[in-house]
Structure formats: structure tokens, C-alpha cells
Chains A and B, each alone.
Chain A
């Protein structure tokens, strides 16, 4: 019983730390790329690629929030 508790503890520790770091990375990267994309390059056009990268990061964040809602609300599963 104690062994299974220890295994659950380490599973929770690793997954929680991993998920929190991924959310932090995605949101911070989304912000950084968004503001980088606001500047214009030498030809006068905005950095489309950085903007796209930013939108992808924020989209991933939205999916994580939706997954969290799915986990929270029993009617969905």
C-alpha cells in the first residue's frame, strides 16, 4: 500500500511539474513572439512567422484550458 502511494506521489510530482512548465513555456513564448512580431523588418513588413508562432502557442494554451475544463466537469466523461 505504501509502495503504491509512493509511486502515485512521484507520478503526480513529475506530471504536475511537467504540465506547469509546459503551460509557462507556451504562454511566455506566445507573448514574446507576439511582441517580436509587432516590429517591422528592413523591408517594412511585419514578422509574419513570429506572429504565427505566437498564435500557435496561445492556441495550445486554449486547448490545455479546454482539457482542464473537460477533466473538471464529470458530465463530459
Chain B
């Protein structure tokens, strides 16, 4: 292997693991936001549980996909070099960081596939992209996931409310708290058995492409371990900004609602992945929370936040594709271009991190506000003192 290929493969492995990290911390909210919001789990306990289950999940399921892009790119017809993969993954990382900054839950898989498709369009041409696949695997599922998960959780909370209406509220609260913990852990484990495999697939297929590993072989142990630890560490760090939006921003959640949302999410994710209509975990979990808001009186849904979220879902794929395309245009110029993409990516990531420090959200203050603002001054509406107070 020549030095250029070696450097590019090294960069692909590095960005794939960084992507896995952002995937973890972006998606902690899916499993744990409602448990943190209702107090069923302490914030730190929740992220430790989610991180551990993601790590276990990564080792339990190492059946990586045969394609990097989940069938969205005609990989047999066009050449996908490591530099294209590098550019595509970079696009996904930048989009994940941007949505985390504004606290919007968006699908990491859609960001990854979007970045790769954008890079392939620039690198290999439009004929490399399966646009029918983009419609049926990305755009339509983004819209129907809210419908399926929302309807499931809306009916679930109605059933629970009907059965428990004559019970002592304290018994209801403590009973569903235990149930919510179990359902949240199921969602976290399911995430670990799915999402780390995408990165394992990228690294394995890259190693196969450069001839380091025989074609058709399984991921090596160090790849499984590295991906498992990257996603677990990301999950443990907790994307507190996204947790705040999902736990507090969409609707006020009680423990029965949290249970209904998590149980519906787990059921929808498993049913959809086993009946051939794969839905994004992020979109399913967000849809379930909207559903429990609709299904219970006195818990109105904040449609402003929900609307922004759905727009983010629809924009995720094309936005990541744009970043991936721009990165690929640079990376195509050879090793200096690829290194330039890495440097620019690092600078953008640093700027996003600095912006997030203006108004940090963490385990201590995650439940204090309902929305994520960039400036602390925007957080609480300032009220003028009344005349009586002034006097």
C-alpha cells in the first residue's frame, strides 16, 4: 500500500470513529430523554446505562451490511474510493454537530447516507445514486415514522389512562417509573445492535477495498471494539442539548407517558426492522413523544418545536449531501485536498463546540428549560417588575 492510500485509509478510520462518537451522543436522547425528564433515572445514571448497553449491543450484533450506503449508491457500477467515503462521513459529522448545537434530534443514519451520496455525486456522477432508494428509504420513512410511532404511543397512553384513572397517582407514578426504565434500556440496546454496525461496515469495506482484508470477511475484533467503545463513549457523554428538546421541549411528560412513549418506540423499531419497512430510531422516538402529548389531556404538544424537528429530518439528507459534496470536491484533488478537508472539518467542529459553550446544557441543568438557545440571554423571558414590586 502506498503512503497516500495509507494516509487516506487512516483518515477514513479516524472520521468513521468520530462519526460513531457523534452518533452515540446525538442518539442518547432517543432512549433516555423521557426517563431523564420524568426523573425515572438520574441524568448520569441514564447515560451510563445507555452507554453500557450500546457497548454490549455492539458486540452482540456484528452482522454488518454488505453495502456502505444501504443500497442508496450503485456500488457495483461506480468506483467509491476511500477519499469519497472520507468526504461523505465528514459531511455527516458536521451535520450531526450542527443539529446537536441547536438541540434538534436528527437521524445519524440519514446524515451518513446523505454525506456519502453527496460525495459520490461529485466524485462519480449522478448515475451512481439510486434516487428511488432515496425516496423510499429516506424521505417517505421520515414522514411516516411520526405517524406510526405517534399513533402507537397515542393509543398506548389512552389505554393506560383508562385503566389507571381510579388508581392512587403515587402508585401509578412509581409503577410506571420501573416500567419506563426497562423500556428505555430496550431502546438503548437496540441502538447498540444497529448503529455501531454502520461504522464497522464502513471500516471493514474500506479495508477490503484496499486489499488489507479478504472480500466478504467479517469485521476484525479491533474494529468491533473500537466502534463499540466510540459509540458507548459518545452515548455516555450525553447529547444533553438533544435530550432537553426531546424530554422537555415537545411536551410535558409524566411517567405513564414516558412508559407509553418508550414502549411504543421499542415496539415500532423492532416491528419495522423485522417486517421490511425500516424506520429511523430518532424519528420513531420523537414521533412517540408527540403521540403521548396528543393522547393525554393537559399535555399540549409544542408544535413550533415539532415543526422545526420535522423540517430538520427532511433537510438532514440533502444538507449532509451538500457538505459531503463540497468535501469530496476538495478531496478529489489528492492527498493535500483530503488533508485540507480534515483541517477544515476540525476547525468547523471547534467553532460549533465554542458556540455551544455560550449556553452549555449538561446533566445539572438539562431539565431546567424546555428549549435550547444559543445565547443564555434568550433563555428566560425577562419580566419587568410590576409597580407594586418596584415600590
Contacts and interface: CB of A to CB of B under 8 A. Distances in A.
A17 interface: yes
Nearest to B172: A31
Interface in A1-57: 1-2, 5, 8-9, 11-13, 15-17, 19-21, 23-25, 27-29, 31-32, 34-35
A24 B260 CA distance: 7
Contact of B271 (A16, A21, A61): A16
From A8, A13, A24, name the one whose CB has the most chain B CB atoms within 10 angstroms: A24
Contacts of A68: 186, 266, 270
Contacts of B277: 5, 8-9, 11-12
A72 B271 contact: no
Contact of A73 (B149, B193, B272, B279): B193
B274 A71 contact: yes
Given A12-B275, A21-B159, A71-B274, A35 B167 contact: yes
Interface in B13-32: none
Contacts of A34: 175
A23 B156 contact: yes
B363 interface: no
Contact of B179 (A5, A27, A72): A27
A76 B95 CA distance: 36
A31 B136 contact: no
A13 B164 contact: no
B267 A23 contact: yes
Interface residues of A, number: 33
Given A17-B152, A72-B193, A24 B176 contact: no
B164 A31 contact: yes
A17 B164 contact: no
B11 interface: no
Contacts of A20: 152-153, 155-156, 260, 263-264, 267-268
Given A9-B144, A32-B167, A35-B168, A21 B270 contact: no
A29 B267 contact: no
A19 B271 contact: yes
Interface in B118-147: 132, 136, 140, 144, 147
Contacts of B156: 20-21, 23-24
Nearest to B162: A28
Given A8-B275, A74-B63, A28 B164 contact: yes
Nearest to A19: B267
A28 B274 contact: no
B60 interface: yes
A35 B171 contact: yes
Contacts of B171: 31, 35
Interface of A: 1-2, 5, 8-9, 11-13, 15-17, 19-21, 23-25, 27-29, 31-32, 34-35, 61, 65, 68-69, 71-75
Interface of B: 57, 60-61, 63, 132, 136, 140, 144, 147-149, 151-153, 155-157, 159-160, 163-164, 167-168, 171-172, 175-176, 179, 182, 186, 189-190, 193, 256, 259-260, 263-264, 266-268, 270-272, 274-277, 279
Given A25-B159, A68-B270, 18 more contacts: A5-B140, A8-B276, A9-B148, A12-B272, A17-B152, A19-B267, A20-B155, A20-B268, A21-B152, A24-B160, A27-B259, A27-B263, A28-B159, A32-B164, A65-B186, A71-B270, A72-B186, A75-B60
